[in-house]
C-alpha cells in the first residue's frame, strides 16, 4: 500500500499544513496548464504509476516544459509510458503537471521505523534532490526519537546542527518538519519520504520549504489510513483478483496472508505458520503458485472459504496439493483439515475430478483426527497421497512434494487422469 | 518512575538470565482471558505450570471463571478489580484484539507497579501501536515479549507463559536439557524443540520472539541472558530476513543459527510475519553473513559439507539443526542430553497409491507412527463411519443449502432440479445416506418402505382416522399415526443394524451388494444372534425375503441372515435392506454409524407416513388401496405407493413422471423454512448430544406441525386460481396436444379483468390481491423475468414431448399482464405455479368427474407437499441428531423482543 507522486501527495501534505508544489492532474485543461506555467515559470510533467515506483528521473520519465506546446508534447510522450523495475513493467495511467519551485537548497527528509533503534527515525540531509544512497554517510543524519512525544522541533534543530546545515534553512525546517509527524503517525503510515523539499523564498523574504515529490507507505494492519478517505482503487493494482478475494477474509483471528509467486506454478501449497512459509517458499521457489500463511487457528468457516478460493483459482493447473506446517501449537488440525478436505470434496462435486497428488505434513492438536478426515476424503476421491507426521523433516516433505510434481509432469498426471476416468490431458 | 535496568544496555533490559524468563514464582494476569485463543491455550499453560495464572480480565464478565484442570481462574472486568480482590502478579499476558493491545499494555503497567514482564500474543498490531508499546515499556522499565509471538517456556521449571509453545501436550516437546531456543517463528520454536529431542537434545528456555517490525525482546538481550544462564550450554536461533537485530550481537556460548528466507527477497510484501520483509542490507544472505562472521566459518552447514566451529554453525534448513548442533557441541567436548529418539527421515503415517504404479521415490511405504499417535491411528481405523463435530445447529444445516442468488436448494450437494429427475425412494435415501441410489438400492428401499404402508389393524391407522374425523388437516392426521411409531417399535431393527455393522465393520466389505463378499466375516455371539433371529418363523420377514428375491435385489446382509439358518425377524430383514444401502457411504465415512442404525426407523416412518395419508377404509387385511399386499411388496416403488395413497388409483407411467418431478422439486427449500425449523427444534429439545434419546418420530411430527394452510397448504391457492380460470371451459385432458382452448384470449381476458379490479381496489384503497404463481422477490426487475426452476421444468417436459395446459396458461398470462399494461415488465412464472400446474393436471380428470370437491382438492395439494417435503426434513432431522447440541435452536433472551 504505497503512494508516490504529488497527485495525492499534495493533498495529504495540505492536511498537515506542509507547503507543496502546485499540481494538476491528467484531466487539467490547456488553460490551467498554461496559467500554471505563467505562475511558476516552468512545469514538470511526471507519469502516474500506482504504488511506490521510484527512479523515474533516472529513466528519463520526467519532462520539463516552459511553454504549453512542450508541456502537451511531454504529456503525450509520458501518458502511457512504461517503466521497468526489475522484472516488472509498470504502465503509466496519465500524468501530473507540477509547478517548478525555484530554490537554492534541496532537502531530503524521511520518517520510518528503525530496527536498529527500535524507535521511529527521521533521516535528514540538506544535500537532497538525489538518491540518498549516493551520499556520504557524514552528509546524512538519522535521528531516533520517542514516539510518545513525537518529532519535536529540538530534534530537527539538533539534527541540522549536527549536519552543519546553512543557517537560513534551519528556522523554516524546525518550524515545518515536525508537522509531518502528525501526518505520518496518525494516519497509519509506515514510511514517509519527501525528496526534494525545495527551500523557496517567500514573500517576506524568508525561506519556505515546499515538497516537490512525495512517497509514503501505509501499514495494512492500521485502519487509520481510512481517515484519509483516499480513492478505493488506489491500492488495487497491488493485488490480483485471487489475493483480493483472500484479503477480504483478513481478520486477526486466523491468518489469511497470501502472495502469488507464479501464476503458472504447479504446486498449490497452503502453508501454516510464518516460519513454515519462509521455509516452504524457499525450497519450492517458482514451483509454488502461492506463498501463504494460513495459521493462527482459523475457524472452520474461514479455513473452508480460504481453501475454496485457493482451489477455485488454482486447483485445475496444480499437479500437487501440498498442505504443510510444523507442529502446530494452537491451530486445531481437525478443524482446519476438515475444512480443507470438505472444500476439496465440494470442488470435485462442483467441477468434477481433476488429476492431483496430495502431500501433507503436519503436527499439532487433534492431529490424527484431522489426518483421518483428509485420508477419508482422498480415498473417496481416489486421489493418491502421502500424509507425514511431524517426525519427518519438513524440508524432506517439501522435496517429496517436488518429486511428486516432477512425476506428474512426466506422465504421472495422465496416469492419475486415467484412473479417475478422465482424458489424459485433463 | 523507570526502574533501573542492566547497565550494559543503552535501553532498558531487566532480565539478566534466561533462568529468570519463566520461573515457578512468576504470577500471571491474562487480558481477554475468555477470548477464543486464550480459552483453549490458557488452561493448558496454567495446568502445565502448576497453576500460575492468578486471574484474567474480560470486560463485562466479572464473576465468570475459566475452568482448568488445575482449578478455576477467576475473571474480572479489569486489572484494577482483580488487584482490589487481593491478587498479585508480575507478568501480564495480552490476548486482546489488535486495536486494544496498546491500551491493554498501558493498563497493565500503569495499574500494577509490580509488573516486570509483558507477553503479547496478538498479531496484526499496527506499527503505530507497536511504536508506542515499545516506548511505554521503556518508559516504565518493563521487559516485553512479542508482539505476534507465542510466549515463553522453561523446560526445567515446567513453566509456560503466554502462548501455546509445545501445543496441547507441552510435556511431550518441552524436554529438559541444555539448549536454549530463540525463534522468530512460534511454530518453529516448538518444531525445533521437537527436532532437537529426536536428535537427543533437550531445552532450557524457549522464546518465541515474534517477527513484527518491532521485536521487543531481541537477539542482543537473549545473547546476554544466555551467557548468564548456567543451565544453558548452547542455543539454537531461528532467524528470518528483515531487521538489524542480529547484526551487532556477541555470543559467549555456541549457537546454531538457522536463517531461512533467501527466496523471500523476490517478494514485495510480507506474508505471515509482518517484519519478515527485508531491504537491501538485512536480507537472508546478509544475515547468513553476519552469523558466519561471528562463528568464524566460511560456509553454510549441510550434512554433505558440515562446516562449523566451536562457536557455531549456520544452517538454512531446520532439519539440519540437530546434526549441526551435535557437531558444534562435539568440538566443545559436550555430549547429547539423552540418546537420540529417532530420526527425521520421511515417515508417512497415511498413504494410498490408489492402484497407480508410483516411481520408487514416491512409493514410500506407510510406517507405524510414533507413540502415542500409533494407538490413535489404530483407534481411528477401528472406527466405522463419520464422526461429525458437534456445534450449534440453529439455522444451520449440513444437509441442505439454498443459493440465495438462484433460490435453488441443494440437498447433500444435489440440486433440487436434479432431485426432480429422481424417484422419491432415491430422494429419501439421498437425504439420509447423502448419496443418490442405484437400481439395487431402490429395489431394497422400495421393499423396506412397502412392508409398512398397509396399516390394517394398527392403532396408528385408527389414530390417523380419528384425527381426520375431528376435522384436522392431513399433517395433523399423519402426525397422530407417526406418534405411535416410537422407539420401541423399531428397537429390534436398530439392534439388528448394530449387529450387522459390528460383524462386517472390519471385513473389508466396500459395497453392501457385493455378490462375491464373504457372508460370515465374523462369528456372531449368542447376544448378536438374538438380535437377528427369532424362535419362530416371522411371516412378514418371510414375505419380505420372498419379495427380495422377486425384485432381484442383492445384499450381503440378507445373504448373511439366510446363512445363519434360523428364523430371521422382520426387523432383521429390514435392517439388512437398509444397511446394504448405507454400507458404502458408511465405509467411506460420509455418514455416521448412528444414521445407519436409525435407517430402519426412517424406512418404517416413511411407510406409515404414506399409509396414513389415505383414509382407513383403504387399508384391508390383504390390500392397500385395492392393490394386494403381495404385489406391493414384490414390485411397487415408493413413488408409486405415494401416488396410490394420494390419488387412490394406479399410476400410469405418464401420470407418475410429473408426480415424481413435483415431489422431487419440493423435498427441501433450505434450513430456513418453517418445516425444517420445526423438525430441528424437536430434535434439539430431545438433546442430540444423547442421540439415543432423540425420538425420530417426534422429529417428523415437528416437521408436520410446522406445516399448515399457509406453509404447504398454500399450494392450493394456485390450484384454486387455475380452477377458476378453467372451470368454465370444456377442458377434458390437461395433457392433450391440442386442448382446444385459446389460451392467449383467456389470459388477455383475465388480464383486463384483473386490471379493472386493480384500479377499483386502488380507488377504494383496499389491497390488490396477488395472482398466485406469478412474480418472485428475487427474479424480477428485468424486461422479461424467469424463475430458473420454472424454465428448467418447462424444458424437461418439452424434451419429453409432454404438454401441460395449465403451465402454458401461466406463460400466456404473464405476457398478457404485461401486454395490457397491468405489470411494468413480464413477470416470472414461479415454482408454486409449476407445482399447482403439475398437481392439477393429475387431479383434473377426477375433478371433472365430480369425484373431488374443493376441500378434497385442497387436502390433496397439502398432502402432496408433505410427501415431498418428508425427504428433506428427514435429512434435517438426521443431520441435527449427528451434529447438534442440546437445546441449540433456542434464541437468547437478549435477541428476543417484546410488544404490548
CATH number at residue B115: 3.40.50.261
The SS3 assignment for B610 reads helix
pLDDT score, position A278? 79
Q: In this complex, do B272 and A252 lie within 8 Å of one another by their Cβ atoms?
A: no
Query: With an 8 Å Cβ cutoff, are B213 and A190 in contact?
Result: yes
pTM more than 0.80: no
pLDDT of residue B608: 98
Question: Cβ separation of B588 and A379 shorter than 8 Å?
Answer: yes
Residues 6+ apart with CB under 8 A from A294: A254, A255, A256, A257, A258, A270, A271, A272, A303, A306, A336
Band of the pLDDT at A49, cuts 50, 70, 90?
A: confident
Number of folded domains in chain B? 3
* Assigned C-alpha cell, B822: 397491468
Domain at A22-100, CATH class? alpha beta
Cβ-Cβ contacts under 8 Å, A332 against chain B: 40
Given an 8 Å threshold on Cβ–Cβ distance, is B188 in contact with A349? no
Which residue in B185, B262, B272 is closest to A257 by CB distance?
B272
Number of other residues whose CB lies within 10 A of the CB of residue B429: 30
Chain B: nearest CA to A375, how far in angstroms? Answer: 7
Chain B CB contacts of A297 under 8 Å are 36-37, 40
Q: What gap in Å lies between CA B578 and CA B599, rounded to an integer? A: 6
Q: Please list the residues that pair with A260 across neighbouring strands.
A: A290
B351 belongs to a structural domain: no
> Where along chain A do its domains lie?
1-21+102-237, 22-100, 239-419
Whose cell is 396414513? That residue is B612
Please tell me whether residues B754 and B843 are part of one structural domain.
yes
pLDDT recorded at residue B545: 97
Q: Are residues B641 and B767 in the same domain?
A: no
* Distance from the B754 Cα atom to the nearest Cα atom in chain A, whole angstroms: 44
Pairing of strands B623-624, A207-211: unpaired
In SS3 terms, B758-827 reads as HHHHHHHCCCCCCCCCECCCCCCCCCECCCHHHHHHHHHHHHHCCCCHHHHHHHHHHHHHHHCCCCCCEC
DSSP state of B319: G
Interface test mutation site (partner A, options B42, B272, B343, max chain A beta carbons within 10 A): B272
**CB–CB contact B264 A281 (8 Å):** yes
Residues B620 and B746 in one domain: no
Give chain B's end-to-end CA distance (angstroms, integer): 59
- For position A251, what pLDDT does the model report? 59
Q: What pLDDT is attached to residue A58?
A: 66
Provide the pLDDT for residue A423. 86
Residue B783, domain extent: 666-688+695-891
Closest CA to B772 of B825, B829, B824: B829
Contact between A198 and A112 under an 8 Å Cβ cutoff? The reply is: no
ipTM of the shown complex: 0.79
Taking the CB of residue B85, how many other CB atoms lie within 10 A of it?
12
Strand order across the beta sheet in which B400-402 lies: B400-402, B409-411, B414-415
Give the per-residue pLDDT at A237. Answer: 55
Same domain, residue pair B600 and B682: no
Among all residues of chain A, which has the CA nearest to that of B190?
A327
Residue carrying C-alpha cell 475468555: B34
Evaluate whether residue B1 is within a structural domain. Answer: no
Q: Which chain A residues have a beta carbon less than 8 Å from that of B355?
A: 419
State whether B323 and B424 are in the same domain: no
Domain boundary among B285, B305, B331: B331
Do residue B670 and residue B587 come from a single domain?
no
Please give the Cα distance from B160 to B164 (Å, whole number): 8
A390 contacts chain B (CB < 8 A) = yes
In eight-state DSSP terms, residue A410 is I
Average pLDDT (A57-86) is: 83
| Residue B628 shares a structural domain with residue B672 | no
Top residue of A121, A330, A342 to mutate, by most chain B CBs within 10 Å, is A330
Cβ of A387 within 8 Å of Cβ of B351? The answer is: yes
The number of angstroms, rounded, from the C-alpha of B440 to the middle of its chain's C-alpha atoms is 30
Contact A261 B173 (CB under 8 A): no
Q: What's residue A138's pLDDT?
A: 85
Query: Please, which residues 135-154 of chain A have a Cβ atom closer than 8 Å to chain B?
Result: 146-148
Would you call B633 exposed, middle or buried from its count of C-beta atoms within 10 A (0-12, 13-18, 19+)?
Answer: buried
CB A400 within 8 A of CB A357: no
- The C-alpha atoms of residue A230 and residue A217 are separated, in whole angstroms, by 13
Q: Does any domain span residue B368?
A: no
B675: in domain: yes
Residue ranges in chain B whose pLDDT is less than 70: 1-2, 264-280, 713-714
B763 min Cα distance to partner chain A (Å)? 49
Q: Check whether residue B326 and residue B440 sit in a common domain.
A: no
A120, A365, A387: residue with CB nearest B350: A387
> Which among B268, B300, B331 is the end of a domain?
B331
Between residues 238 and 277 of chain B, which touch chain A (CB distance below 8 Å)?
Answer: 238, 240-245, 260-264, 266-267, 269-276
B350 contacts in chain A (CB < 8 Å): 371-372, 375, 385-387
**Which chain A residues are within 8 Å of B241, Cβ to Cβ?**
278
Kindly identify which residue of chain B lies nearest to residue A184, measuring between CA atoms. Answer: B128
In this structure, the answer to whether residues B450 and B573 fall within a common structural domain is yes
A130 backbone dihedrals φ, ψ, rounded to 5°: -140, 175
DSSP string, A257-298: EEEES-TT-SEE--EESHHHHHHHHHHHGGGBSEEEE--S--
- Cα–Cα nearest to B319, from A400, A370, A258: A400
Contact B346 A185 (CB under 8 A): no
Q: Is A402 on the interface with B (CB under 8 A)?
A: no
Is A384 in contact with B127 (Cβ distance < 8 A)?
Answer: no
Are residues A274 and B185, on separate chains, in Cβ contact within 8 Å? yes
Residue B619 domain-assigned (yes or no): yes
Tell me the CA distances in angstroms from B320 to B192, B208, B307, one per residue in order: 10, 20, 12
Mutate to test the interface with B, among A386, A401, A411 (most CBs of B within 10 A): A386
Q: What is the CATH number of domain A239-419?
A: 3.40.50.261
Question: What is the distance between the alpha carbons of residues B194 and B180, in angstroms, rounded to a whole number?
Answer: 13
Domain check: are B487 and B569 in the same one? yes
What fold is seen in the domain A1-21+102-237?
A: D-amino Acid Aminotransferase; Chain A, domain 1 (3.30.470)
State whether residue B303 is helix, strand or coil. coil
User: Of B297, B331, B365, which residue is a domain's last?
Assistant: B331
Restricting to A residues 276-335, those with a Cβ less than 8 Å away from any Cβ of B are: 276-279, 281-282, 285, 291-293, 295-297, 299, 325-330, 332, 334-335
Residues in B closer than 8 angstroms to A278, CB to CB, are: 185, 240-241, 260-261, 264, 272-273, 276
Listed in sequence order, the residues at least 6 apart from A274 whose beta carbon sits closer than 8 Å to its beta carbon are A293, A295, B184, B185, B186, B187, B211, B240, B271, B272, B273, B276
How far, in Å, CA of B338 to CA of B202, rounded? 8
Identify whether B552 is part of a domain.
yes
B712 and B640 share one domain: no
Region of B564 on the Ramachandran plot (φ > 0 left; ψ -120 to 50 alpha; else beta):
alpha
Closest in B214, B350, B354 to A118, CB measured = B214
Strands B533-534, B567-568: pairing is antiparallel
Is B64 among the domain residues? no
Are B512 and B505 spatial neighbours (Cβ–Cβ below 8 Å)?
no
> Shortest Cα distance from B378 to chain A (angstroms)?
10
**Is there a domain that residue B375 lies in?**
no
In this structure, the answer to whether residues B557 and B470 fall within a common structural domain is yes
Contacts of A395 in chain B (CB under 8 A): 317-319
The rounded distance, in Å, linking the Cα atoms of B705 and B472 is: 11
Closest CA to B239 of B298, B315, B175: B315
Q: Which residues contact B878 (CB under 8 A, 6 or more apart)?
A: B399, B431, B432, B595, B598, B602, B696
Amino acid at each position: 500500500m504505497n503512494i508516490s507522486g504529488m497527485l495525492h501527495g499534495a493533498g495529504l501534505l495540505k492536511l498537515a499544513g506542509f507547503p507543496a508544489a502546485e499540481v494538476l492532474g491528467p484531466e487539467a485543461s490547456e488553460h490551467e496548464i498554461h496559467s500554471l506555467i505563467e505562475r511558476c515559470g516552468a512545469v514538470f510533467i511526471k507519469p502516474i504509476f500506482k504504488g511506490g515506483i521510484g527512479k523515474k528521473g533516472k529513466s528519463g520519465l520526467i519532462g520539463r516544459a516552459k511553454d504549453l506546446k512542450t508541456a502537451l508534447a511531454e504529456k503525450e510522450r509520458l501518458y502511457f509510458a512504461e517503466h521497468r523495475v526489475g522484472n516488472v513493467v509498470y504502465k503509466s495511467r496519465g500524468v501530473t503537471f507540477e509547478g517548478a519551485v525555484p530554490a537554492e537548497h534541496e532537502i531530503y527528509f524521511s520518517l520510518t521505523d528503525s530496527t536498529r533503534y527500535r524507535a521511529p527515525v527521521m533521516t535528514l540531509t540538506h544535500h537532497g534532490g538525489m538518491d540518498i544512497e549516493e551520499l556520504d554517510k557524514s552528509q546524512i543524519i538519522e535521528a531516533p526519537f520517542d514516539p510518545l512525544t513525537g518529532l519535536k522541533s529540538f530534534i530537527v534543530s539538533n539534527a541540522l546542527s549536527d549536519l552543519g546545515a546553512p543557517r537560513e534553512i534551519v528556522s523554516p525546517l524546525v518550524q515545518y518538519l515536525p508537522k509531518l509527524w502528525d501526518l505520518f503517525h496518525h494516519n497509519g503510515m509506515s514510511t514517509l519520504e519527501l525528496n526534494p523539499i525545495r527551500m523557496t523564498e517567500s514573500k517576506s523574504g524568508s525561506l519556505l520549504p515546499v515538497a516537490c515529490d512525495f512517497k509514503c507507505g501505509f501499514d495494512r494492519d492500521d485502519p487509520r489510513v481510512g481517515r484519509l478517505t483516499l480513492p478505493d482503487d488506489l491500492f488495487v493494482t497491488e493485488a490480483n483478483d485471487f489475493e483480493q478475494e483472500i484479503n477480504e477474509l483478513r481478520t486477526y483471528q486466523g491468518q489469511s496472508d497470501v502472495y502469488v509467486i507464479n501464476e503458472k506454478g504447479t504446486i498449490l501449497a497452503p502453508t501454516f505458520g510464518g516460519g513454515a512459509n519462509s521455509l516452504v517458499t524457499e525450497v519450492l521457489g517458482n514451483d509454488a503458485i502461492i506463498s501463504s500463511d494460513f495459521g493462527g487457528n482459523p475457524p472452520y468457516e474461514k479455513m473452508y472459504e480460504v481453501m475454496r478460493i485457493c482451489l477455485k483459482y488454482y486447483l485445475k493447473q496444480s499437479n500437487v496439493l501440498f498442505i504443510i506446517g510444523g507442529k502446530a501449537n494452537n491451530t486445531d488440525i481437525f478443524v482446519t483439515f476438515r475444512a480443507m478436505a470438505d472444500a476439496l470434496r465440494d470442488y470435485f462435486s462442483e467441477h468434477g475430478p481433476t488429476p492431483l497428488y496430495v502431500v501433507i505434513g503436519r503436527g499439532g492438536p487433534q492431529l490424527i483426527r484431522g489426518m483421518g478426515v483428509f485420508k477419508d476424503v482422498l480415498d473417496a476421491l481416489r486421489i493418491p497421497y502421502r500424509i507425514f507426521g511431524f517426525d519427518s523433516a519438513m524440508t524432506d516433505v517439501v522435496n517429496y512434494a517436488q518429486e511428486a510434481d516432477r512425476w506428474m509432469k512426466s506422465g504421472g498426471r495422465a496416469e492419475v487422469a486415467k484412473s479417475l476416468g478422465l482424458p489424459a490431458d485433463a | 518512575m523507570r526502574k533501573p535496568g542492566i547497565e550494559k544496555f543503552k535501553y532498558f533490559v531487566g532480565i539478566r538470565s534466561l533462568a529468570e524468563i519463566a520461573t515457578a514464582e512468576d504470577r500471571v494476569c491474562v487480558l481477554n482471558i475468555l477470548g477464543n485463543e486464550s480459552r483453549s491455550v490458557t488452561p493448558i499453560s496454567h495446568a502445565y505450570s502448576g497453576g500460575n495464572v492468578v486471574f484474567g480480565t474480560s470486560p463485562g464478565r466479572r464473576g465468570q471463571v475459566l475452568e482448568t484442570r488445575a482449578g478455576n481462574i477467576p475473571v474480572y472486568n479489569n486489572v484494577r478489580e482483580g488487584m482490589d480482590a487481593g491478587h498479585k502478579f508480575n507478568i501480564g499476558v495480552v490476548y486482546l484484539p489488535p486495536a486494544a493491545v496498546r491500551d491493554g499494555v498501558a493498563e497493565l503497567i500503569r495499574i500494577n507497579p509490580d509488573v516486570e514482564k509483558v507477553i503479547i500474543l496478538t498479531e496484526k498490531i499496527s506499527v503505530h501501536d507497536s511504536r508506542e508499546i515499545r516506548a511505554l515499556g521503556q518508559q516504565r522499565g518493563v521487559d516485553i515479549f512479542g508482539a505476534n509471538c507465542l510466549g515463553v517456556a522453561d523446560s526445567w521449571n515446567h513453566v509456560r507463559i503466554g502462548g501455546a509453545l509445545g501445543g496441547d501436550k507441552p510435556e511431550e516437546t518441552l524436554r529438559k536439557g541444555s539448549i536454549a531456543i530463540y525463534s522468530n517463528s512460534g511454530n518453529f520454536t516448538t518444531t525445533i524443540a521437537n527436532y532437537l529431542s529426536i536428535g537427543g537434545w533437550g531445552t532450557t528456555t524457549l522464546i518465541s520472539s515474534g517477527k513484527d517490525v518491532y521485536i521487543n525482546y531481541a537477539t542482543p538481550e537473549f545473547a546476554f541472558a544466555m551467557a548468564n544462564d548456567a543451565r544453558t550450554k548452547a542455543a539454537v536461533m531461528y532467524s528470518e530476513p528483515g531487521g538489524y537485530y542480529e547484526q551487532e550481537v556477541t555470543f559467549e556460548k555456541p549457537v546454531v543459527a538457522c536463517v531461512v528466507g533467501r527466496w523471500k527477497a523476490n517478494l514485495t510484501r510480507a506474508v505471515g510475519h509482518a517484519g519478515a520483509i527485508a531491504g537491501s542490507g538485512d536480507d537472508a544472505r546478509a544475515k547468513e553473513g553476519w552469523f558466519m562472521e561471528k562463528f568464524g566459518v566460511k560456509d553454510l552447514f549441510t550434512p554433505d559439507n558440515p562446516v562449523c566451529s566451536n562457536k557455531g554453525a549456520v544452517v538454512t534448513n531446520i532439519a539440519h539443526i540437530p546434526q549441526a548442533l551435535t557437531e558444534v557441541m562435539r568440538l566443545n567436548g559436550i555430549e547429547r542430553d539423552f540418546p537420540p529418539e529417532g530420526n527425521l527421515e520421511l515417515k508417512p503415517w497415511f498413504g494410498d497409491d490408489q492402484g497407480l504404479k508410483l516411481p520408487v521415490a514416491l512409493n514410500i511405504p506407510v510406517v507405524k507412527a510414533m507413540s502415542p499417535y500409533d494407538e490413535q491411528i489404530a483407534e481411528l481405523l477401528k472406527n466405522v463411519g463419520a464422526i461429525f463435530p458437534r456445534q450449534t445447529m440453529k439455522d444451520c444445516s449440513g444437509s441442505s443449502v439454498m443459493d440465495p442468488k438462484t433460490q435453488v436448494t441443494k440437498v447433500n450437494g444435489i440440486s433440487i432440479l436434479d432431485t426432480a429427475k429422481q424417484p422419491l425412494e432415491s430422494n429419501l435415501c439421498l437425504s439420509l445416506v447423502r448419496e443418490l441410489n442405484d437400481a439395487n438400492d431402490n429395489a431394497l428401499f422400495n421393499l423396506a418402505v412397502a412392508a409398512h404402508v398397509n396399516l390394517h389393524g394398527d392403532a396408528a391407522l385408527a389414530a390417523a382416522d380419528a384425527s381426520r374425523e375431528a376435522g384436522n388437516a392431513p399433517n395433523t392426521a399423519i402426525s397422530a399415526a407417526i406418534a405411535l411409531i416410537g422407539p420401541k417399535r423399531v428397537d429390534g431393527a436398530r439392534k439388528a443394524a448394530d449387529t450387522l455393522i459390528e460383524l462386517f465393520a472390519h471385513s473389508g466389505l466396500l459395497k453392501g451388494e457385493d455378490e462375491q463378499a464373504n457372508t460370515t466375516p465374523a462369528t456372531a455371539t449368542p447376544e448378536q444372534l438374538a438380535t437377528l433371529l427369532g424362535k419362530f418363523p416371522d411371516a412378514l420377514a418371510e414375505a419380505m425375503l420372498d419379495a427380495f428375491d422377486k425384485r432381484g435385489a442383492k445384499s450381503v446382509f440378507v445373504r448373511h441372515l439366510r446363512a445363519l439358518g434360523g428364523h430371521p425377524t422382520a426387523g432383521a430383514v429390514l435392517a439388512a435392506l437398509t444397511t446394504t444401502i448405507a454400507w458404502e457411504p458408511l465405509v467411506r465415512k460420509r455418514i455416521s454409524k448412528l444414521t445407519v442404525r436409525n435407517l430402519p426407523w426412517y424406512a418404517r416412518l416413511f411407510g406409515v407416513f404414506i399409509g396414513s395419508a389415505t383414509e382407513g377404509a383403504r387399508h384391508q387385511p390383504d390390500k392397500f388401496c385395492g392393490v394386494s399386499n403381495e404385489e406391493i411388496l414384490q414390485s411397487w416403488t415408493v413413488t408409486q405407493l405415494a401416488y396410490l395413497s394420494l390419488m387412490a388409483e394406479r399410476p400410469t407411467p405418464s401420470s407418475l413422471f410429473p408426480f415424481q418431478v413435483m415431489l422431487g422439486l419440493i423435498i427441501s427449500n433450505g434450513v430456513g423454512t418453517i418445516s425444517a425449523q420445526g423438525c430441528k427444534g424437536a430434535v434439539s429439545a430431545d438433546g442430540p448430544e444423547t442421540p439415543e434419546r432423540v425420538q425420530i418420530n417426534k422429529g417428523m411430527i415437528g416437521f408436520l406441525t410446522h406445516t399448515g394452510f399457509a406453509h404447504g397448504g398454500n399450494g392450493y391457492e394456485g390450484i384454486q386460481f387455475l380452477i377458476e380460470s378453467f372451470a368454465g371451459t370444456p377442458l377434458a385432458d390437461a395433457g392433450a396436444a391440442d386442448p382446444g382452448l385459446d389460451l392467449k384470449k383467456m389470459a388477455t381476458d383475465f388480464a383486463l379483468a384483473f386490471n379493472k379490479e386493480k384500479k377499483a381496489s386502488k380507488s377504494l384503497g383496499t389491497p390488490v390481491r396477488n395472482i398466485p404463481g406469478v412474480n418472485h422477490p428475487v427474479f424480477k426487475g428485468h424486461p422479461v423475468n424467469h424463475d430458473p426452476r420454472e424454465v428448467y421444468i418447462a424444458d424437461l417436459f418439452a424434451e419429453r414431448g409432454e404438454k401441460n395446459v395449465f403451465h402454458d396458461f401461466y406463460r400466456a398470462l404473464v405476457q398478457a399482464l404485461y401486454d395490457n399494461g397491468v405489470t411494468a415488465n413480464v413477470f416470472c412464472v414461479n415454482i408454486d405455479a409449476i407445482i399447482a400446474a403439475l398437481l392439477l393436471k393429475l387431479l383434473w380428470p377426477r375433478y371433472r368427474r365430480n369425484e373431488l370437491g374443493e376441500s378434497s382438492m385442497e387436502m390433496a395439494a397439502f398432502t402432496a407437499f408433505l410427501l415431498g417435503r418428508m425427504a428433506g426434513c428427514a435429512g434435517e432431522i438426521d443431520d441435527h441428531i449427528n451434529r447438534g447440541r442440546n437445546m441449540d435452536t433456542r434464541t437468547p433472551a437478549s435477541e428476543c423482543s417484546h410488544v404490548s
